[in-house]
């Protein structure tokens, strides 16, 4: 059936090919396809890359490997290369960010040169990576740190004012809630000191905790998240924000382009890298996912039993409610992770899913009127979507029932059609998946018969002038294709002009882009999908785009004719904005009138 992965490979044991029969049986072992970027020393670099990702034992659909697509081969090679280049990317990232912070702290290039030439050595501020003034490349691209105050009377931003209550009780899709979530997703890239400063001073909210979590497969702390509330007591909202793909982190980028998945009963096929990032297992041993599934089933069964017992003694006609956990029960909760007990018990190896859930449970216990909001950009968006779905799968019904909304921005695909069906059933009406124009990340891993990854929920799609539509799927869903190559590069050129000149003219200095952002947009002239992934685009979309979104298309907009209509609308919007931004000249009224006619046609 289209949309569901056919049996590809069944692998028992670790990546070295050994069989771990002591912890699982053949009937229990889930189907999975795993890339293995831990390159063996016994091969040359090139040979090991070619061997990357091949399963130990193939039991079905061998012909699929003989018909491997160029996308699959590219994915295999990219993952292995990114792992090998990670230390060099880290070094490059440190040099770039330290230099940019040096310039930023000293008034730019001219300010720094002024201090140097006048021998004011003591006035030169040297960046300190752990300080609350040391910014990541993301913050240097987009320096905004306060929430949006919409003062417009008409136009795109006239739906829900963002200077009202940040978390309205009913409308979780409001502009104000979306703005808090996109800002949280953006600031998640920063150090703990910067995050706390932005939350408390910029967003005027209450910072709770930063999590630096362990990834057993990567053998490092590579999953970051933080938790905050709208106020210290009697909170209306508890927010969890996951960090996305860091610009100079090869492991993060490898997760985005990885095609590996594991198929779990009752859940469907799920991206292996995202499960590993949440600390739920490792592809080094398939038994960890068997154990995780068993833990989830036991937890869900226990919760259902408790809820049935509570419903049986409740007064007649009492609505069924989730089991309410008190502090001792929360603290005694058994870990969902399938990793070894040694890893689970190690205080230095914080496992994201279990530790964040425990923290959120305690906060919701102390703030019974609060709703839970989960958000993230890029990889962080995928983790936000998976985390929220896993709350239901693992029987955390009380926490799951408190979910107000899940906002993801530029999120890669998380699982197959079965996972999408399950996630849709538990997150319906609470899931907002935002995609900006030509952003490449929401188009991977690929949505085709071989990879079988699918998005779930509607797509909140924004074009390059931040006009939004509610679609079933983003255009050009697998990104690569000669037909869209020219339009993507032309659109990237428009984004350079718009960001450098038109945004501050139309919307004020708040939307003036930094010099670093300008350089980053220039990259889009060569790699439009990378520049389109900038959080700047998503912040602008939430602040300028129409909310609620217009619902335009019902079918699969991968159809060429429907894509043409979207591109046509985008070109009309661009033409209108260019004309409306022209300075007052003789005859400008006539030109503006003509542009308005074109725009409304």
Q: Which helix (H) or strand (E) holds 221?
A: strand 220-229
Residue 304 reports pLDDT greater than 80: yes
Strand-by-strand arrangement of the 268-271 sheet: 32-33, 261-264, 268-271
Please indicate whether residue 439 is annotated as part of the active site.
yes
Residue 511 reports pLDDT greater than 80: yes
Mean pLDDT of 324-335: 93
Mean pLDDT of 314-336: 90
Q: Which helix (H) or strand (E) holds 228?
A: strand 220-229
Please indicate whether residue 378 is annotated as part of the active site.
yes
Please indicate whether residue 565 is annotated as part of the active site.
no
Q: Which of 179, 323, 533, 534 is catalytic?
A: 533
Mean pLDDT over each residue of the chain, to the nearest integer: 82
Mean pLDDT of 164-190: 88
**227, two tokens:** 């938790």
**Residue 35, pLDDT score:** 73
Residue 167 reports pLDDT greater than 50: yes
- How far apart are the two ends of the chain, measured CA to CA in Å? 42
Residue 212 reports pLDDT greater than 70: yes
Instruction: Provide, rounded to the nearest whole percent, the portion of the chain with pLDDT above 70.
Output: 76
pLDDT band at 2 (very low <50, low <70, confident <90, very high): very low
Q: Which of 75, 176, 378, 452 is catalytic?
A: 378
**Residue 6, pLDDT score:** 40
Cβ(390)–Cβ(335) below 8 Å: no
Q: Which of 284, 416, 439, 467 is catalytic?
A: 439
Q: How many Å apart are CA 12 and CA 26, to the nearest integer?
A: 8
**Residue 254, pLDDT score:** 87
Q: How many Å apart are CA 419 and CA 452, to the nearest integer?
A: 11
Torsion over CA: 162, 181, 505, 134 (sign): positive
Mean pLDDT of 484-492: 83
Burial of 225 (0-12, 13-18, 19+ CB in 10 A): buried
**Residue 5, pLDDT score:** 40
Mean pLDDT of 182-207: 97
pLDDT band at 69 (very low <50, low <70, confident <90, very high): low
pLDDT band at 485 (very low <50, low <70, confident <90, very high): confident
**Residue 577, pLDDT score:** 62
Q: Which residue has the higher pLDDT, 168 or 262?
A: 262
Q: How many Å apart are CA 525 and CA 519, to the nearest integer?
A: 10
Distances (CA, A) of 96 to 53, 60, 91, 181, 530: 33, 47, 9, 28, 18
Q: How many Å apart are CA 371 and CA 391, to the nearest integer?
A: 14
Mean pLDDT of 73-102: 90
Spans of all domains in the chain: 89-310+322-556, 559-601
Query: Which of the residue ranges 77-86, 198-207, 339-348 would you say has the lowest mean pLDDT?
Result: 77-86
What lies within 8 Å, CB to CB, of 594 at 6+ separation is: 579
Mean pLDDT of 522-548: 91
Coil/strand/helix, residue 469: strand
Residue 17 reports pLDDT greater than 50: no
Domain 89-310+322-556 = CATH 3.40.50.720: no
Q: Which residue has the higher pLDDT, 175 or 225?
A: 225
pLDDT band at 57 (very low <50, low <70, confident <90, very high): very low
Residue 455 reports pLDDT greater than 70: yes
Query: Which of the residue ranges 241-255, 308-322, 367-381, 453-467 would you say has the lowest mean pLDDT?
Result: 308-322
Phi, psi of 374 (to 5 degrees): -120, 135
């Amino acid at each position: 059936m289209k949309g569901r992965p056919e049996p590809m490979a069944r692998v028992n044991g670790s990546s070295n090919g050994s069989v771990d029969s002591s912890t699982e049986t053949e009937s229990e072992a889930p189907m999975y396809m795993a890339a293995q970027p831990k390159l063996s020393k016994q091969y040359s670099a090139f040979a090991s890359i070619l061997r990357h990702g091949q399963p130990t034992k193939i039991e079905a659909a061998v012909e699929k490997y003989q018909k491997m697509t160029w996308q699959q081969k590219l994915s295999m090679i990219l993952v292995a290369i990114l792992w090998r280049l990670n230390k060099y990317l880290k070094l490059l990232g440190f040099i770039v960010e330290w230099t940019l912070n040096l310039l930023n702290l000293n008034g730019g290039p001219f300010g720094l040169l002024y201090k140097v030439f006048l021998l004011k050595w003591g006035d030169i501020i040297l960046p300190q990576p752990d300080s609350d003034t040391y910014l990541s490349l993301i913050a240097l691209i987009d320096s905004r740190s306060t929430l949006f105050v919409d003062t417009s009377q008409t136009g795109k931003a006239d739906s829900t004012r963002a200077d009202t209550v940040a978390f309205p009780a009913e409308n979780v899709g409001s502009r104000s809630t979306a703005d808090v979530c996109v800002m949280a997703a953006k600031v998640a890239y920063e150090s703990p000191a910067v995050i706390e400063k932005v939350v408390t001073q910029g967003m005027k909210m209450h910072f709770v905790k930063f999590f630096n979590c362990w990834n057993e497969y990567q053998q490092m702390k590579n999953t970051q998240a933080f938790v905050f509330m709208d106020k210290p007591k009697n909170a209306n909202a508890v927010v969890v924000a996951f960090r996305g793909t860091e610009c100079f982190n090869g492991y993060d980028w490898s997760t985005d382009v990885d095609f590996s998945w594991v198929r779990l009963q009752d859940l469907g096929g799920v991206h292996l890298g995202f499960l590993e990032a949440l600390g739920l297992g490792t592809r080094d041993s398939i038994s960890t996912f068997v154990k995780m599934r068993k833990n989830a089933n036991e937890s869900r069964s226990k919760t259902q039993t408790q809820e049935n017992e509570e419903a049986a003694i409740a007064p007649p006609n009492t609505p069924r409610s989730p089991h309410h956990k008190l502090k001792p029960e929360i603290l005694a909760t058994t870990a969902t992770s399938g990793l070894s007990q040694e890893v689970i018990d190690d205080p230095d190896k914080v496992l994201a899913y279990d530790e964040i859930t425990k923290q959120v449970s305690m906060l919701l216990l102390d703030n019974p009127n609060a709703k839970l909001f989960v958000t993230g950009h890029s990889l962080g968006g995928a983790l936000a979507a998976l985390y929220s779905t896993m709350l239901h799968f693992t029987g955390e019904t009380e926490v799951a029932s408190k979910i107000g909304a899940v906002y993801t921005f530029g999120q890669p695909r998380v699982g197959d059609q079965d996972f999408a069906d399950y996630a849709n059933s538990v997150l319906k009406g609470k899931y907002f998946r935002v995609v900006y124009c030509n952003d490449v990340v929401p188009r991977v891993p690929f949505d085709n018969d071989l990879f079988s990854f699918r998005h779930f929920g509607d797509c909140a799609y924004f074009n390059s002038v931040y006009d939004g539509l509610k679609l079933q799927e983003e255009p050009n869903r697998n990104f690569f294709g000669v037909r869209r190559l020219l339009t993507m590069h032309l659109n990237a050129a428009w984004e350079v002009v718009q960001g450098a000149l038109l945004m501050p003219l139309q919307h004020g200095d708040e939307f003036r882009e930094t010099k670093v952002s300008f350089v980053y947009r220039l990259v889009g002239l060569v790699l439009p999908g990378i520049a389109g992934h900038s959080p700047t685009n998503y912040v602008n979309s939430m602040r300028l785009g129409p909310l609620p979104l217009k619902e335009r298309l019902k079918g699969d907009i991968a159809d060429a004719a429907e894509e043409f209509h979207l591109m046509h609308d985008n070109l009309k919007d661009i033409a209108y904005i260019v004309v409306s931004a022209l300075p007052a000249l003789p005859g400008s009224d006539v030109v503006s009138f003509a542009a308005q006619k074109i725009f409304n046609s």
